Amino acid sequence: MDISIHRPQELNDELRKAWHKAMDESPLYANPFLAPEFAAGIGRHRPSARVAVLHQKNEAVGFLPYERGAFGVGRAIGLGLSDSQGLVHRPGVTWNARQLLRECGLAVLEFDHLVDGQRPFGPYVTGTFASPVVDLKAGDGTYAEWLRATYPGLAKTTLKKERRLARDHGELRFVYDERDPVMLRQLMDWKSAQYRRTGRMDRFAKPWIVALVEDLFAVREEHFTGVMSVLYAGERPVAVHFGPTSRTVFAAWFTTYDPELHYYSPGLLMHLRMAEAAGRQGVQLMDFGRGDKTYKDWLKTRELRVAEGFATRPHPVSTALRMWRRPVRGLRNTVNAHPRLREPADRLLKAAGSLRTARTGR
C-alpha cells in the first residue's frame, strides 16, 4: 500500500472524484461528514488538517482525513464537531493501522464517532455507542398526513402544539433550505446562548467554528450541501437548524430555537418538519449522531453503532495520551449512560450556566 499525504483543500479533481466514488460504493460512507468537502472546510480553518490517500496499483482507493497536533498526536478531522469518522475506502481494501499512522507522522489517532466496518482500527476501540437514525419516507400527501402515518403516537400532541403556536404567534411556515445569512447568524446567537445557559462549552465563541459554519453554508455540491432550515410563525423565526446533507444522508447538527417559545417544543417541531421535507428531497436517512436525548428516542427508527478509541503505534506519546485521556472519556461515558448520574450532572451544569449568565449578563 502506497500512502501520500495532502492538505484536504488542495486535493485535485481526480482525487476528489475517487473519494466520492468510494462514498457511493458503500452506505457506511454516505454521511456528509465523510465527504471531501467537509474535510476541505476544516482544512481552510485548521492548518493541521491532512488527508492520507491510499493507493493500489497507482489508483486512489482510500482516504483518511485527520488533524495532526504536536508530538504526533492526531485526531479524526473535526473531532468534537463531526458525527461520522473513519477511513473512506473502496470495497475490499485493507490497510495496516500502524503503517498508516507511521506514514501520517502520528503516534496516536483519537476518534469518537468511528463508523462501522473499520476492522484495522478494531483493536484500538475502547467503547461503542448507539447513533440513532431515522429511515425517511418520501410522501406525496400533506405534512399532517405524513406525521400521522409515520409517528401516530406523537401526531396528536404535535399537531395540537403547532395549532396553538400558529394561533398565538401567526401562521406557520417551514423553509427547508433557507438561504438568508441573517438566519444563520440568528442560529449561532441562539445556540451560543443555549450553550452558556446549560453550562456547556460555547462552540460559537470560537471564531474558527463560526467561520467554518459560514463556509459550509455556502457549499452546494452533490455529496455535501449545507442546508439551513427555519420554522417561522408569521414573520417570527421559531426554530433554526443547520447541517450538511449528502445525496442520501441528512446529518442533524446544530438545532436551536427561540427560548421564549419553549412551551411549544419548537426543537421537536423542527426535527419532524425536517424529516418530512428531507424525505421529499429523496434523502433516505436522518442521522442524529451519538448522544442520549429524549427526542432521539421518540423519533429514531433504528440505531447505528459508532466507536471511540485511540489507534496507536509503539511510542512514548501514545502511552502518555492513553493514560490521560482514557479515564476522562470513561468517566464522561459512565455519567452519560446512567440517568441517575446524567440528570444531576445536567442540573449542575445548568446551575453553573445560570450563575455565569447572571454574572456576565450574557
pTM attached to this predicted model: 0.89
Residue 321 pLDDT: 59
Integer Cα distance of 6 and 55 in angstroms: 13
| Parallel, antiparallel or unpaired: strands 254-257 and 249-251 | unpaired
Query: 131: which 3 cell numbers?
Result: 447513533
Cα 361 from chain centre = 30
Residue 86 pLDDT: 98
3 state DSSP class of 241: strand
Residue 323 pLDDT: 61
43 HSE (CA, 13 A, CB side): 17
3 state DSSP class of 41: helix
Phi-psi category of residue 66: left, alpha or beta, with phi > 0 → left and psi -120 to 50 → alpha: beta
Residue 338 pLDDT: 47
Integer Cα distance of 264 and 242 in angstroms: 20
- The closest of 120, 88, 80 to 8, measured between CA atoms, is 88
Beta bridge partners of 229: 241
Place of cell 449568565: 357
Asked if 223 and 37 count as a contact pair (C-beta separation under 8 A), the reply is: yes
10 Å Cβ neighbour count for 19? 27
- The closest of 225, 292, 264 to 38, measured between CA atoms, is 225
Asked if 55 and 3 count as a contact pair (C-beta separation under 8 A), the reply is: yes
Q: What string of pLDDT tens digits covers the 362 residues of the chain? A: 899 999 999 999 999 999 999 999 999 999 999 999 999 999 999 999 999 999 999 999 999 999 999 889 999 999 999 999 999 999 999 999 999 999 999 999 999 999 999 999 999 999 999 999 999 988 778 999 999 999 999 999 999 999 999 999 999 999 999 999 999 999 999 999 999 998 889 999 999 999 999 999 999 999 999 999 999 999 999 999 999 999 999 999 999 999 999 999 999 999 999 999 999 999 999 999 998 889 999 999 999 999 999 999 886 666 655 665 555 454 455 445 545 534 553 444 444 444 444 444 55
Residue 336 pLDDT: 55
Asked if 68 and 104 count as a contact pair (C-beta separation under 8 A), the reply is: yes
63 HSE (CA, 13 A, CB side): 31
Helix axes 36-45, 207-217, angle to 10 degrees: 140
Residue 305, H or E segment: strand 302-312
DSSP 69-86: -GGGEEEETTTTT-S-BS
3 state DSSP class of 314: coil
Over residues 44-80, the pLDDT tens digits come to 999 999 999 999 999 999 999 999 998 899 999 999 9
Name the residue type at position 5: I
